[in-house]
Structure 1
Amino acid sequence: MTTTTPFGAANTAVLGEPKAQIARYQGLRSANSLGLTRSRHAPISSASSSLIRAVATPAKPETVTETKRSKVEIFKEQSNYIRYPLNEEILTDAPNINEAATQLIKFHGSYQQYNRDERGGRSYSFMLRTKNPCGKVSNQLYLTMDDLADQFGIGTLRLTTRQTFQLHGVLKKDLKTVMSSIINSMGSTLGACGDLNRNVLAPPAPIQRKDYLFAQQTAENIAALLTPQSGFYYDVWVDGEKFLTAEPPEVTKARNDNSHGTNFTDSPEPIYGTQFLPRKFKIAVTVPTDNSVDILTNDIGVVVVTNDEGEPQGFNLYVGGGMGRTHRLETTFPRLAEPLGYVPKEDILYAIKAIVVTQRENGRRDDRKYSRMKYLISSWGIEKFRSVVEQYYGKKFEQFRELPEWEFKSHLGWNKQGDGSYYCGLHVDNGRIGGVMKKALREVIEKYNLSIRLTPNQNIILCDIRTAWKRPITTILAKAGLLHPRFVDPLNLTAMACPAFPLCPLAITEAERGIPDILKRVRAVFEKVGLKYNESVVIRVTGCPNGCARPYMAELGLVGDGPNSYQIWLGGTPNQTSIARSFMNKVKVQDLEKVLEPLFYYWRRKRQSKESFGGYTNRVGFEKLQELVDKWEGPEVAPARYNLKLFADKKTYEAVDELAKLQDKTAHQLAMEVVRNFVGSQQNGKSE
């Protein structure tokens, strides 16, 4: 017996039949698309009473009803594989593109934006995002991006939380020039946005160790496997010119394999079809203990498993992570990924493909708020999800291997690569490279022909540095304020913010522009309540609830909740393994101290040995914390005194204090800043 499913409702079994032919989601056909058909036979348990649905199934098998689809699904259907009408819209004289093209250009790695600070009209521009698996950036590509920022952007480069560049402010008339320049420098923006696999994360450190190298190679192979194949990107931006890149044969083999009904036959997009995925899809690969990639926030988390000799044997797989949500809509939520199982190393590409196809076939396409894979898994449960994935994988997953505790690793500072060279990880506040910092980085990267790695924490790593180069490189960087991490405020080292205003159309309030002042105020609160300088909490700020800076993993997350106000989230942990919870709504930015002072004060007073701020808030509970905030009248004020460790006499203290007040700082803050900058400028590269 054959059943027919509407759009998105795949894998529907007819009860009572021991074996049923399953008509799977085939992708919508446009006038310009190929007819895509495939089916296979699969055993269906007659005892099973559950139907696997993504959106809806007909009331009767004989009845075919039209399933509701989002507008974006229609745009994809009619686009001839993400070409039309974008290919026409970019040629018009208008400064912007139409609604359909605005959605399609995301697949090409770009968003249309306008300056929300301006009044009296919209000044349109485009943000371009590169795709750099593992955060790897060649010397040539970095220099190209640096040039493009000055020639066609706003003079800055933005490092993202997914190990990529963002280039803001590109005008429509310059899009083809900028895109072709990136492509000709062996870079790409293809798939950096849109309903497909985004940039694949991996630990950025160029450590010459088997597990790290294997994780990075696996990330690159997964990225290649899930790269669109139909050529739309090159047709639009370089007039169809082909850029050949060597692809490992195992990637080609895995993509073409259709032994378990995963592919669209005779299609230019064998994995994606005409409709691609229901929403964005994120994957990260790492090694045990190294949680530099926020592994549990991804749709798929891949962890290398080695034997006692350090030889990679296979992978643990997590599934179902994701950050985005909608304020005051409890059916949307951030979610941690959970264990799926273990696969041998030779099967990883087939397992990844099976998971992606399960989401492609069953993820919701009617309401984009619920289209991420986390909602599918939340609805089905992990056992049902695993069972469906195994049909496409063709095997049972092995038992998840035991892993050690996760640690957040920043990979900052001077470190040995293991091949005789060094790498230098540099902290970049909010990932924004501009001004003297941008000039210094270019000087070093160009002069020493260095390759680059971008980190998932919006920082940058300079690779392959010879011992003799350490001193001159350190001197150049220090003069531009790029200091060894020991001279950077610990609060800044782990803080992140999304760009938000003025260009992000989704922003509700400030994030990147607001976080410098917020961090200074948090430091002042630390001093007021008696917390030491080397103590810190993970702070992340976003301008809206979509969670681009992963605020729901922070110990203190500030999520835009209205003009100049934030929703406060508490309970993440320093190693990024616990999800935070919403503590307070609509806290005005000027009132943050009223909430933070009692929280930090009682953390210092009541914490257990080595207990993090996130651990403390989880242990005490939100009801008690709210009581502490409501009853707060301030800490006991100690008599004013100057710091004898920094100031030799009261006159010097008073002079520094007067200068500090002009910068809205304490005398101690200003003095420490001066000392750190001086010491940093004197660093000779000998310290690691």
Structure 2
Amino acid sequence: MGAKSYHVSACSDDLIRTLYFTEMVQSAPPPAVETRKPSKVEGLKERSNFLREPVATELLQDTNHFSEDAVQILKFHGSYQQDNRDNRAKGQEKDYQMMLRTRNPGGFVPPELYLTLDKLADEYGNHTIRATTRQGFQLHGILKKNLKPSIAAIVQSMGSTLGACGDVNRNVMAPPAPFKNRRDYQYAWEYAENIAQLLTPQTGAYYEIWLDGEKAISAEENPEVVAARQKNGTGTIVHDNPEPIYGTHYMPRKFKVSVTVPGDNSIDLYSQDLTLVVITNKKGELKGFNVFAGGGLGRTHNKEETFARTADPIGYVQKEDVYDLVKAIVATQRDYGDRTDRRHARLKYLIHDWGVDKFRTKVEEYFGKPVEPFKKLIKFRYHDFLGWHEQGDGKLFLGVSIDNGRVKDEGDFKLKTALREIVEKYNLPIHLTPHQNALLCNIAPEHKEEIEAILNRNGVVTDLEKIDSLERFSMACPALPTCGLAVTESERAIPSFLQRIRALLDKVGLPNEHFVTRMTGCPNGCARPYMAELGFVGSAPLSYQVWLGGCPNQTRLAQPYTEKMHVDDLETFLEPIFVLFKKSRKKKESFGDFCARVGFDAIRSFSENYQPGVEAGNG
């Protein structure tokens, strides 16, 4: 394909490149049609009439479950069909139930929505609410017959489940801390919300099915976002289609976006398909965004073509062009992502196969001009925002630790009761964190003691000194009994794992040590174990693959150290590694940094020659 020659006196290189890209996009042929057979899900999406069928028909049928075809489309509406394996004996029918996931950009949960979720959990669910690692909530145990009233109640309470699952943009993440005196944080929340609006499926199916066609009263969409969704000229829009950005087939797989500020990696930015980092000038005014793309953690055991990958820096975009660039990246993945092999369908594989330069060039074609060079950033740090903090407007927020995100009442521990009482009494919004915790926001200083008293009365610890640091920096996915992909335990196993690890650290003389520990019941990586300093990934019943070498701020990928460790071997497996860590670490070196520095060969060599009782605890 040839491009015109431009003769512009005193013309900058950027202008010449811009003119070139504009001409190239206008004359470029459409992407080549994939000759391989598309996956089954692509056909289901095409026949769904934009996410209506067969969900709408099967919802009216007097059955206790949806068909496999309907289940795939149901995901776009925010629900997974599950089987509670604890309640099913061999040979019996599956114990069908639904998991429902909310979409909360930046983790924002208004008080009326939280109280509705609390009520639904008791009326229709399993009496618990679960905070996710993407800053949303999940309800478990909902029967098919109760799905419609549940979704309707959520939407009528300023919530949504649309796009919380499925082959679309998932919940847009942002730092949860409600700092009212930090303009950069305010920009991050604003653009997280706007991008969530921009990439929300436009089909009317959601409201037709769950609210009988009545769109609930909600905040007006940002006019800039509405205009950006329809803007075309560079190939990002699918014309004459109810889904102008996604088209009939939506995305090849899920697409994850986050927005953050320099220095704050509470969102695990390197694990996202697309991350924007707010860039301001010296006056604190928004100038634009640094752009990362190509992160993703899902993989499959024994399938080397699947792997975890960290995002790459792509460039910088002015604030005026940010929606156009987001659309350009989405369109590149939409049109060139693999639709034949769903294991190879994420953006990370497209960038891996193409390389960053080719990917950037293709994005620039859709963008219509060059992407500017990446701006220098300060070092990222991980923040969990637990405990009491000033908001910057005279009010306070309190970060409450939630073990593995499970809000429940159990024995003397009544977190669910406490949160309901606090939200109800003080009308407080909640910000969910990417670490499955909750921030109670907009607290008047005079209510601090009362709120602490409510929590303490219900057995909820607010003193950070009383929370074990291993627990504080750990995460686990739900896994068994409800997740159909789980091969072993995770949420129910990690408390005992952490207790055993703490006892082992005490034994070898590292009583105050802590590190980022994460566990999943399968290799899909929902709790992001591949970014942890110590990651356990379910590989078989009662067995885990072990990953080592991530870092405390989650900016480096861990590596697989062993393919299978049985739960009974935890102490004998970890003891020599901890002893070597104690003997050979540098001053203030973290466990993950140590493992990455010394390398697995050195760790294996030491472990093979290690004699229990000779070296442990002698220093």
What is the TM-score of this pair, normalised by structure 1?
0.84
Moved more, 506-515 or 596-605: 596-605
2:610 is aligned, of 629, 632, 645, to 632
Alpha-carbon separation, structure 2, partners of 1:516 and 1:193 = 28
- Residue 184 (str. 1) matches residue 153 (str. 2): no
Tell me the SS of whatever aligns to 1:168. Answer: strand
2:134 is aligned, of 143, 152, 162, to 162
Alpha-carbon separation, structure 2, partners of 1:299 and 1:153 = 32
Alpha-carbon shift at residue 635 of structure 1 (Å): 4.0
1:121 is aligned, of 76, 93, 97, to 93
The 1:426/1:409 distance shift into structure 2, 3 A limit, reads same
Q: Counterpart of 1:504 in structure 2: which amino acid?
A: C
Map of 2:64 onto structure 1: 95
- Residue 284 (str. 1) matches residue 258 (str. 2): yes
2:187 is aligned, of 194, 201, 214, to 214
Q: What do residues 448-470 of structure 1 show as CA deviations (whole Å, max 9, x unaligned)?
A: 11111000000000000011100
Alpha-carbon shift at residue 67 of structure 1 (Å): 3.1
Q: What do residues 263-311 of structure 1 show as CA deviations (whole Å, max 9, x unaligned)?
A: 1112111011110000000001000111000001000011001112222
1:394 is aligned, of 368, 390, 393, to 368
Map of 1:562 onto structure 2: 540
For structure 1, the 5+ residue unaligned runs are: 1-16, 21-39, 57-65, 641-688
1:19-38 to structure 2, matched below 5 A, reads: none
Kindly indicate whether the alpha-carbon contact (under 8 Å) linking 2:397 and 2:439 is maintained by their aligned counterparts in 1.
yes
The 1:148/1:453 distance shift into structure 2, 3 A limit, reads same
- Residue 474 (str. 1) matches residue 446 (str. 2): no
The 1:629/1:224 distance shift into structure 2, 3 A limit, reads same
Q: What do residues 316-335 of structure 1 show as CA deviations (whole Å, max 9, x unaligned)?
A: 00000000001111111000
1:515 is aligned, of 478, 487, 494, to 494
Alpha-carbon separation, structure 2, partners of 1:184 and 1:341 = 40
Alpha-carbon separation, structure 2, partners of 1:101 and 1:185 = 26
1:549 is aligned, of 527, 534, 541, to 527
Map of 1:585 onto structure 2: 563
Kindly indicate whether the alpha-carbon contact (under 8 Å) linking 2:25 and 2:368 is maintained by their aligned counterparts in 1.
no
Kindly indicate whether the alpha-carbon contact (under 8 Å) linking 2:26 and 2:233 is maintained by their aligned counterparts in 1.
no
Tell me the SS of whatever aligns to 1:253. Answer: helix
Q: What do residues 523-546 of structure 1 show as CA deviations (whole Å, max 9, x unaligned)?
A: 00110000032x201000000000
Map of 1:594 onto structure 2: 572
Q: What do residues 170-217 of structure 1 show as CA deviations (whole Å, max 9, x unaligned)?
A: 000001110100011110000000000000000001001100000100
- Residue 430 (str. 1) matches residue 404 (str. 2): yes
The alignment of Structure 1 onto Structure 2 pairs a total of residues equal to 592
1:483 is aligned, of 451, 462, 470, to 462
Alpha-carbon separation, structure 2, partners of 1:44 and 1:391 = 5
The 1:54/1:449 distance shift into structure 2, 3 A limit, reads farther
The 1:400/1:54 distance shift into structure 2, 3 A limit, reads farther
1:369 is aligned, of 323, 326, 343, to 343
1:203 is aligned, of 172, 175, 180, to 175
Q: What do residues 582-640 of structure 1 show as CA deviations (whole Å, max 9, x unaligned)?
A: 00011101101111111111111110011111111111111111122222222448999
The 1:638/1:387 distance shift into structure 2, 3 A limit, reads closer
The 1:382/1:54 distance shift into structure 2, 3 A limit, reads farther
Tell me the SS of whatever aligns to 1:251. Answer: helix
Q: Counterpart of 1:502 in structure 2: which amino acid?
A: P
2:113 is aligned, of 127, 130, 141, to 141
- Residue 18 (str. 1) matches residue 2 (str. 2): yes
Map of 1:415 onto structure 2: 389
The 1:98/1:54 distance shift into structure 2, 3 A limit, reads farther
2:24 is aligned, of 40, 43, 49, to 43
Map of 1:318 onto structure 2: 292
Alpha-carbon separation, structure 1, partners of 2:256 and 2:609 = 43
Alpha-carbon separation, structure 1, partners of 2:461 and 2:30 = 53
Alpha-carbon separation, structure 2, partners of 1:75 and 1:157 = 31
Kindly indicate whether the alpha-carbon contact (under 8 Å) linking 1:426 and 1:484 is maintained by their aligned counterparts in 2.
no
Alpha-carbon separation, structure 1, partners of 2:223 and 2:31 = 35
Tell me how large the CA RMSD over aligned residues is: 2.0
1:446 is aligned, of 414, 424, 431, to 424
Tell me the SS of whatever aligns to 1:566. Answer: strand
Alpha-carbon separation, structure 2, partners of 1:582 and 1:45 = 46
Alpha-carbon shift at residue 109 of structure 1 (Å): 0.2
Alpha-carbon separation, structure 2, partners of 1:428 and 1:193 = 23
Alpha-carbon shift at residue 443 of structure 1 (Å): 0.7
Greater C-alpha radius of gyration: 1
Q: Counterpart of 2:63 in structure 1: which amino acid?
A: A
Map of 2:13 onto structure 1: none
Alpha-carbon separation, structure 1, partners of 2:315 and 2:243 = 28
Map of 1:502 onto structure 2: 481
Map of 2:509 onto structure 1: 530
Map of 1:86 onto structure 2: 55
Tell me the SS of whatever aligns to 2:322. Answer: helix
Kindly indicate whether the alpha-carbon contact (under 8 Å) linking 1:570 and 1:580 is maintained by their aligned counterparts in 2.
yes
Kindly indicate whether the alpha-carbon contact (under 8 Å) linking 1:55 and 1:364 is maintained by their aligned counterparts in 2.
no
Map of 1:30 onto structure 2: none
- Residue 328 (str. 1) matches residue 328 (str. 2): no
Tell me the SS of whatever aligns to 2:85. Answer: coil
Identity %: 52
Moved more, 575-584 or 482-491: 482-491
Kindly indicate whether the alpha-carbon contact (under 8 Å) linking 1:19 and 1:41 is maintained by their aligned counterparts in 2.
no
Map of 1:406 onto structure 2: 380
Alpha-carbon separation, structure 1, partners of 2:259 and 2:546 = 30
Map of 1:6 onto structure 2: none
1:226-241 to structure 2, matched below 5 A, reads: 226-241=199-214
Kindly indicate whether the alpha-carbon contact (under 8 Å) linking 1:54 and 1:376 is maintained by their aligned counterparts in 2.
no
For structure 2, the 5+ residue unaligned runs are: 5-20
Alpha-carbon shift at residue 121 of structure 1 (Å): 2.4
Kindly indicate whether the alpha-carbon contact (under 8 Å) linking 2:337 and 2:346 is maintained by their aligned counterparts in 1.
yes
Q: What do residues 549-579 of structure 1 show as CA deviations (whole Å, max 9, x unaligned)?
A: 0000000000000010000000100000000
Map of 2:334 onto structure 1: 360
Tell me the SS of whatever aligns to 2:139. Answer: strand
Map of 2:17 onto structure 1: none
Kindly indicate whether the alpha-carbon contact (under 8 Å) linking 2:337 and 2:350 is maintained by their aligned counterparts in 1.
yes
Alpha-carbon separation, structure 1, partners of 2:535 and 2:153 = 38
Q: Counterpart of 1:262 in structure 2: which amino acid?
A: T
Tell me the SS of whatever aligns to 1:584. Answer: strand
Alpha-carbon separation, structure 1, partners of 2:394 and 2:494 = 38
1:603 is aligned, of 581, 593, 599, to 581
Kindly indicate whether the alpha-carbon contact (under 8 Å) linking 2:397 and 2:442 is maintained by their aligned counterparts in 1.
yes
Map of 1:104 onto structure 2: 73
Q: Counterpart of 1:454 in structure 2: which amino acid?
A: L
Map of 2:273 onto structure 1: 299
Q: Counterpart of 1:512 in structure 2: which amino acid?
A: E
Tell me the SS of whatever aligns to 1:18. Answer: coil
Alpha-carbon separation, structure 1, partners of 2:33 and 2:150 = 40
Alpha-carbon shift at residue 19 of structure 1 (Å): 6.1
Alpha-carbon separation, structure 1, partners of 2:464 and 2:372 = 41
